[in-house]
Amino acid sequence: MLISYTRITQMRILFTHGRTYCSNVTISANCEIARYGRLGQIDYAREIFDRLHEKNIVSWNSIVSCYFHNNQPKEARQLFEEMPERTTVSWNGLISGYVKNRMLKEARRVFDQMPERNVVSWTAMIKGYVEEGLVSEAESLFWQMPERNVVSWTVMLGGLIQDNQMDKARRLFDAMPVKDVVAKTSMVGGYCQTGRLTEARELFDEMSEKNVITWTTMISGYVQNHRVDVARKLFEVMPNKNEVSWTAMLMGYIQCGRMEEALELFRAMPFNSVVACNAMILGLGQNGDVTEARKMFDQMREKDGGTWSAMIKTYERKGFELEALRLFSLMQTEQVRPNFPSLISVLSVCSSLASLDHGRQVHAQLAKALFDTDVYVGSVLITMYVKCGDLVKAKSVFDRSPTKDIVMWNSMITGYAQHGLGEEALEIFQKLSSLGIAADDVTFIGVLSACSYTGKIDEGLEIFESMKSKYLVDPKTVHYACMVDLLGRGGRLKEAMDLINKMPMEADAIIWGSLMGACRTHMNLEMAEVAAKKLVQLEPRNSGPYILLSNIYASKGRWAAVADLRKTMRSQNVKKSPGCSWMVIEKEVHMFRGGESRPHPEQSLIMGMLEYIGGLLKEAGYSPDGSFVLHDVEEEEKAHSLGYHSEKLAVAYGLLKVSEGMPIRVMKNLRVCGDCHSAIKLISQVMGREIILRDANRFHHFKDGLCSCRDYW
């Protein structure tokens, strides 16, 4: 049966149309697979792939790439093995996928096994080595390449520059058959990052073709090497400037602290990008202009995580801890995901304020983002928990850390020392030594402090003597200060003075301050006057020596001498830091100041609690120690003054607000006085509560009428 020519033509059209339709469907599906993969929606991408009737090589390559892009290399390899056919592009995608997931051994195995390689295969493998810092392996492979293109040369050049091998990079650059603007710009940047600005400028001036990246690289090089004025001259003659160029120049002024010029340039910018605004917030903050920094923050219409981080960092650095926490809370209210720097800043604030609830919250967020196993983060977390008085949690973080550096060991040793747990601190130190980890000078500050706080004089002397001979660490001034404190606390004042006189360096204020504190404890007026004289010479504006000497004079009833000291302080404009305490309840910081100044909003309740526990303390035999009041007044008035010390106000508030069974945590900016120490011990007994007090020097854990310091502080 013969088919007419017309019918044949119709069938051909129908067949071609059907094939085109199927082809278009596949192309469209491949695009969708790639798009969903880039968006991280791997399930949608897989669904489209599975429903596709006609899968071509591009379909398979796309879905394999999707899994690699979403950090699922195992699934990607499984799909690769299922592919009905593979091309060199498929094998190259496998290499690139492994490189992207930092699995270089697997990438190299594929590279060695693939049936046919092209220049892309070689370049992908070299790029993987470069990105992991294995420049020598990259270079070895580069010289084995049968053929190279401009990308291969540029990748290898970038690797040498990244490794600061500029002489070798120059030889490779000279050997390049084609030197495009990318390669030349890379060389300019490499010279700049190694401080070779003359060579960078020579190459820059020789370039017949420069793009905006080239100009910005040269300007940034001058900025990074503190040649801001030269950078500005080049910036002024730059033919075309983009956002990065303006920001680079702005950063130059900010880094040099030249904020007036930075502000002038910022106002002249045709667009104030988020990055530029963030830099200005940090710059203003570093310059001490926190109010202007916040004003800029509030005026920004668009903010990113870096904006919030910059403002929180500014508050943290400048001592505005409460504002930092408030801003962090606002950040969460507005559902802005905090970035790593902001979380670290908030942890530092939590350490300063001892805000345990906020600290736990940040820890949870770090754990969720898988940052908690990082060594640096671990050290910061340990410090936070230590300063919040939760040693159990600090030790838990320490034990769970897969890797520990010396900073983490030091954090744990210092933590135990501050809490008066000398045995535990020495145990950690011994474990550190047994593992062959080299102790540093900070380690010995923690160990010697632990001995000092717990009265382990002989152990402290032995460790101090072995620092250089056994551990190869030269004792510094701070270590001598620890030893003076150790001997002074133990009443061995003459030995402490002898050690000061034998020191190979001049004694500083910390050392004389340690001796002064010991003189106050042991009422050695003669030596106290010597130490005070030295302290006044070293730090004429420091009120510490005047106050300590006043304490000694007052305890001996020498009120005329106290009056003379106060007169000297007024004439020298020396002001005493006012004592204050604080505590955190339900993520809110409550401040307390002694002497009835600036009362707490719930002062009447606090006074009622103080009156109640005052009666219980009297029944338990407590009598206020008037030697801790510096005024020449009657005993009854002294007792009244002692009753208003800030730490007592805080403890009273804690008794009102902190649930039974939970420890009351109080922080004080100065050293706790002896009378308050005695009173809080008794309060812990009569009220049946655990009280944790962090003063300027250490922690005191009060429970059942006892203190962890064993009255040795």
Instruction: State both tokens at 394.
Output: 């600090």
Q: Identify the pLDDT of residue 261.
A: 94
Beta bridge partners of 585: 588
Instruction: Report how many helices (DSSP H) and strands (DSSP E) the chain contains, helices first.
Output: 38, 6
Q: Of 647, 621, 639, 625, give the one whose Cα is nearest residue 700.
A: 647
Angle at alpha carbon of residue 671, lines to 452 and 529, rounded to 5°: 80
H, E, C per residue of 671-698: CCCHHHHHHHHHHHHHCCCCEEEECCCC
- C-alpha atoms less than 13 angstroms from C-alpha of 676 in its C-beta half-sphere: 28
pLDDT tens column, 428-466: 999 999 999 999 999 999 999 999 988 899 999 999 999
Specify the pairing of strand 664-668 against strand 691-694.
Answer: parallel
Distances (CA, A) of 367 to 40, 348, 420, 661: 22, 17, 30, 28
Tell me what the mean pLDDT of segment 244-258 comes to. 93
Question: To the nearest whole number, what is the mean pLDDT of the chain?
Answer: 88
In percent, how much of the chain has pLDDT > 70?
93
Q: Identify the pLDDT of residue 712.
A: 64
Would the pLDDT of 630 be above 50? Answer: no
Tell me what the mean pLDDT of segment 148-164 comes to. 94
pLDDT tens column, 61-117: 999 999 999 999 999 899 999 999 999 999 999 999 999 999 999 999 999 999 999
Would the pLDDT of 547 be above 60? Answer: yes
* Residues sharing a CB contact under 8 Å with residue 227, sequence separation 6 or more, in sequence order: 197
* Residues sharing a CB contact under 8 Å with residue 481, sequence separation 6 or more, in sequence order: 508, 510, 511, 514
| 672 burial level (CB within 10 Å; 0-12, 13-18, 19+) | buried
Tell me if 668 sits within 8 A of 694, measured CB to CB: yes
Tell me what the mean pLDDT of segment 143-169 comes to. 94
Q: What is the phi-psi region of residue 421: left when phi exceeds 0, alpha when psi lies from -120 to 50, beta otherwise?
A: beta
Tell me what the mean pLDDT of segment 226-235 comes to. 95
* 3 state SS of 561: helix
User: Looking at the chain, how many residues does it have?
Assistant: 713
Q: Of 466, 426, 431, 465, give the one whose Cα is nearest residue 446.
A: 426
- pTM for the whole structure: 0.71
Tell me if 467 sits within 8 A of 476, measured CB to CB: no
Q: Of 353, 296, 284, 294, give the one whose Cα is nearest residue 325.
A: 353
3-state helix, strand, coil in the chain (%, to 5): 70, 5, 30
Q: Identify the pLDDT of residue 626.
A: 53
Tell me what the mean pLDDT of segment 477-486 comes to. 95
